Chain A
């Protein structure tokens, strides 16, 4: 059974940093792209970042480019999101999502981890 679970959320001051993790199981981690998608409180969904199965290609939304970095460790079946220079606009639930292999189709989602940027 496919399972993805995020961790690492919390409260951080503006300008601060946070690293999110996502533990994946139940599928061949190197065969599928992985994504981060976020949702502000009471708001809609916003795609954040994508990493290819082999980790060789990454993409980020313009809103986080230069501040966030997606990465993966295949030896640990784990996905990461390093978030720097956080602003209040980054406050959201952050979801880890497995691609179904056809391209930006989010087949399995974690339960989400809440990041709150506040002074």
Chain B
């Protein structure tokens, strides 16, 4: 199975900050990387697929980049509704596997 890691595990930021989260795969997954946002008590919400394709309805302040083994999720200007946990997931092979998550909270 492909192992996914994320850094940092948590971060504190202020509204308006630029936030970057990193995800790494244990082997090359091309561009088959997905990002989700999850708020407490809610199901995850799809943000980005294929490393950089923005899901319909997701604000443009979210962007993704990377290929191979190293990927990033960037929030260009953090908004109050963006405080949540973010997960990456590889969709390259079965079983799909998730990173451990990055919790973004208020500084």
Binding site for B on A (CB under 8 A): 44-47, 50, 59, 61-62, 95, 100, 102-107, 109-112
Provide the residues of chain B in CB contact with A100, threshold 8 Å. 46, 49
Q: List 22 A-B contacts (CB under 8 A).
A: A44-B98, A44-B100, A45-B38, A45-B101, A46-B98, A47-B97, A47-B98, A62-B1, A62-B95, A95-B44, A100-B46, A103-B91, A104-B91, A104-B94, A105-B46, A105-B91, A106-B36, A106-B44, A107-B55, A109-B44, A109-B45, A111-B43
- Cβ distance A37 to chain B, nearest Cβ, rounded Å: 8
Q: Is the CB of B91 within 8 A of A107?
A: no
Binding site for A on B (CB under 8 A): 1, 32, 34, 36, 38, 42-46, 49-50, 55, 87, 89, 91, 94-101
Provide the residues of chain A in CB contact with B45, threshold 8 Å. 109
A104 to B49, CA, bound (A): 10
A41 to B70, CA, bound (A): 29
- Cβ distance A96 to chain B, nearest Cβ, rounded Å: 9
Provide the residues of chain A in CB contact with B97, threshold 8 Å. 47
Q: Is the CB of B44 within 8 A of A45?
A: yes
A100 to B47, CA, bound (A): 13
- Cβ distance B97 to chain A, nearest Cβ, rounded Å: 7
- Cβ distance A73 to chain B, nearest Cβ, rounded Å: 23
Q: Is the CB of A44 within 8 A of B101?
A: yes
A79 to B102, CA, bound (A): 30
* Contacts A46-B98, A47-B95, A47-B96; A107 near B43 (Cβ below 8 A): no
Q: Is the CB of B44 within 8 A of A59?
A: no
Q: Is the CB of A105 within 8 A of B34?
A: yes
A111 to B41, CA, bound (A): 9
